[in-house]
Amino acid sequence: MRKRSSPGLLVGLSTLAVALAGLVTLEAMHRRQARHALEDRLRLAVGVLAQYAPALFALPSEPADAEIRRWAAASGLRITLIASDGGVHADSWTLPGLLPRLENHLQRPEVVAARRGEVGVARRRSVTTDRPTTYVARLVGPIEHHPGFLRLAQEDARRSWPWGGMLVAMLVALAAGWLAERWAMRYHRAAAGHLRLWTELPADAELEAIAEEADRSFRATREELTREVDATRAALERVAEGVVLLDREGVVRFANVPAAHLLGDGLAAGHPLVEAVRVPEVLSAVQETLARGGVRHTSVTFPAGMELAVRVCALEHPELAVAVVLRDVREERQLERARRALVADLAHELRTPLTVLAGLAEELGEIGAGAGLAATLTRQVAKLRVFAEELEELARIESGQLRLHPEDVDAATIARQVLADLRDSAESAGVTLAAEGEPAALHADPVRFAQILSNLVDNGIRYNRRGGHVTVRTEPSEGGVRIEVEDNGVGIPATEIGLVFQRFYRVRRRAESEGGSGLGLAIVKHLVRALGGTVSLTSREGEGTLVTLLLPGAGPTL
């Protein structure tokens, strides 16, 4: 007789089957839910992290790897940076040294979908871990110019019961959100700190408000700078001189119309100066200024007769390095040559009538006719003769016919000799002469140097007052000799100081009384230049005048 199954057993089995079926169903539902939840979590995480990924592609593999490992440690995900060509730039599960061994990821399903601008999702067994893994990939940056892809991956949970996986997913999402929030706040604070310098908003203002205010400030500043640049360009276009501005590479950044007219129509912004200009003097001065800075002057004479005066100077500017200023001096040179010829002719033509007048004055004196008239005529002839000699002297200096015979001499010794020669003239005017300073080795023509000092001391005596003094000081200076001629005479008005070295110029107040020809200081200036030195003058009306000479020193054998 067949034994019947116990209802309790059937019920137990049924209950077990139902329980097992329920468990299986629940497990399947759990797995589907887990996969959907995992995909959603990975989508969320990849969306949050994608905005920070572009900066990592600019880093080498090792720094990028270190950064994504921190991300992976915080999120529990596998994070992979895939370059646009499919190569792995960094991977949180792979050492940087092993990255070149990984196969190309460009044809992975999730990457293929990401290339179309989608969020690619794929599930397969990982080649690295040999476990079922869900992958989510997203394009980083715009489609046209993207650096690559960000891919997140998560293995299936080892436990069959879904609640642990859900808890892990929740914890991962919270960690990723917390990490993203911290990164966002850090970048927001940094951006606000930089932008706040351009605004007057309070420190607790929102970043959006700070950005809007800074944007308005930037726009206003840019418009103001644009107006200034336009005004400068317009002004430079209107000047008669040619102006060329160059950067540190010798590339033309600006050239006005006169510059193009003087150097050639090929001169244009954006092209190297050496390609547009074939003038060696200009190119050499520009190269020296680019290399050493400072200011350089040169001149250029073209076969057609055009003469250019060129000034090249270094600029303290973040973009511009050199300015070239060109001036056509043909008319000035022609006028200068005509003036020099006139001065030379005038000096020559004065000789004959002065000789006749001198002879006439001497004859009148001998016969005793008109003694007063003869004396006056003699004085005036002597004065005109000095004027003619000074004209001849100036003409020789300016025409380059002056012959110098430089030698090593002591400036102090020559100064004492000059003062001794003028002692009688000074005593007659009630002026005291003095020499101060120490011996100073000078390399110059002693006759011309004595002439320079004589002119300066004579001026100090002539334009002084009784009881006044004239002092000559000599001292060595760096690379040469410094000579000062100082008096406490009537001085020169401030408005006329810049004119006293011009030929024939006499200070108006002095012109009413007997004075010189107005050539003395012009001769001094040209002689000092011929000796390789410089001259400067300072004066205060009613207090006196100081003339300073800087001349080359003698060699070490003096």
Burial classification of residue 88, based on how many CB atoms lie within 10 Å of its CB (0-12 exposed, 13-18 middle, 19 or more buried): buried
Helix intervals (H) in 253-297: 257-263, 273-276, 280-292
Which residue, 266, 293, 328, sits at the end of a domain?
328
Dist. CA 305–CA 325, nearest whole Å: 19
394 in any annotated domain: yes
Provide the token pair at 292: 């050493």
Assess if residue 532 is contained within a domain: yes
| Predicted pLDDT at 4 | 40
Q: Output the CA–CA distances (angstroms, integers) from residue 162 to 18, 30, 31, 37, 41, in the order listed.
A: 19, 5, 7, 11, 15
Count: domains in the chain: 4
Q: What is the pLDDT of residue 433?
A: 93
Beta-carbon contacts of residue 336 (< 8 Å; ≥ 6 apart): none
What is the reported pLDDT for 430?
Answer: 93
Mark whether 462 and 524 lie in a shared domain: yes
What are the phi and psi torsion angles at 313 (to 5°)? -135, 145
Report in angstroms the alpha-carbon separations of 84 from 42, 57, 79, 81, 109. Answer: 21, 10, 16, 10, 15
What's residue 198's pLDDT? 67
- In a shared domain, residues 46 and 149: yes
Q: Are 420 and 427 in contact (CB under 8 A)?
A: no
CATH number at residue 505: 3.30.565.10
Domain of 161 in residue numbering reads as 21-188
For 186-248, the DSSP string reads: HHHHHHHHHHGGG----TT--HHHHHHHHHHHHHHHHHHHHHHHHHHHHHHHHSSSEEEEEET
Q: Would you call 72 helix, strand, or coil by DSSP? A: helix
**What pLDDT is stored for residue 274 in this prediction?**
84
Q: Is residue 203 domain-resident?
A: no
Q: Last residue of some domain: 350, 372, 398?
A: 398
Structural domain includes residue 324: yes
Asked if residue 111 lies in contact with residue 149, where contact means CB atoms within 8 angstroms, the answer is: yes
| pLDDT score recorded for residue 94 | 82
Question: What dihedral do alpha carbons 238, 242, 243, 249 form, nearest 10°?
Answer: 150
Q: Which residues pair with 536 in a beta bridge?
A: 548
Check if the beta carbon of residue 327 is closer than 8 Å to that of residue 308: yes
At 5 the pLDDT is 40
pLDDT for res 487:
93
* One domain, residues 178 and 123: yes
Looking at residue 327, its pLDDT comes to 83
The helix or strand, by DSSP H or E, that contains position 528, with its residue range, turns out to be helix 520-530
Q: Token pair of 332, please?
A: 């000035």
Residues 312 and 353 in one domain: no
| Residue 249 sits in the same domain as residue 349 | no
Closest CA to 471 of 458, 485, 461, 489: 485
Tell whether 537 is covered by a domain.
Answer: yes
DSSP string across 434-489? EEEE---EEEE-HHHHHHHHHHHHHHHHHT--TT-EEEEEEEEETTEEEEEEEE-S
Residue 471 and residue 544 share a domain: yes
Q: How many CA atoms lie within 13 A of 534 on its CB side?
A: 5
Mean pLDDT per block of 10 residues along the chain (558 residues) reads 38 42 62 80 85 84 86 86 87 83 88 88 81 88 79 74 54 70 73 70 72 79 76 70 87 84 78 83 88 86 74 88 83 60 57 63 64 65 60 60 78 90 90 90 86 88 90 88 91 80 60 54 81 88 89 66
Residue 258, domain CATH:
3.30.450.20
- The rounded distance, in Å, linking the Cα atoms of 390 and 403 is 16
Where a domain ends, among 328, 357, 377?
A: 328
Does residue 47 sit in the same domain as residue 177? yes
Contacting residues for 210 by C-beta, under 8 A, at least 6 apart: 192, 195, 196, 199, 201
Q: Let me know whether 420 and 287 are in one domain.
A: no
Q: Is 466 domain-assigned?
A: yes
pTM of the model: 0.39
Residue 206 resides in a domain:
no
End-to-end C-alpha distance for the chain, whole angstroms: 150
Do 244 and 357 have their domain in common?
A: no
Based on the domain organization, do 30 and 143 belong to the same domain?
yes
Residues 312 and 339 reside in one and the same domain: no
pLDDT value for 366: 65
509 shares its domain with 434: yes
d(CA 457, CA 354): 27
- Is 454 within the bounds of a domain? yes
Please give the Cα distance from 433 to 423 (Å, whole number).
7
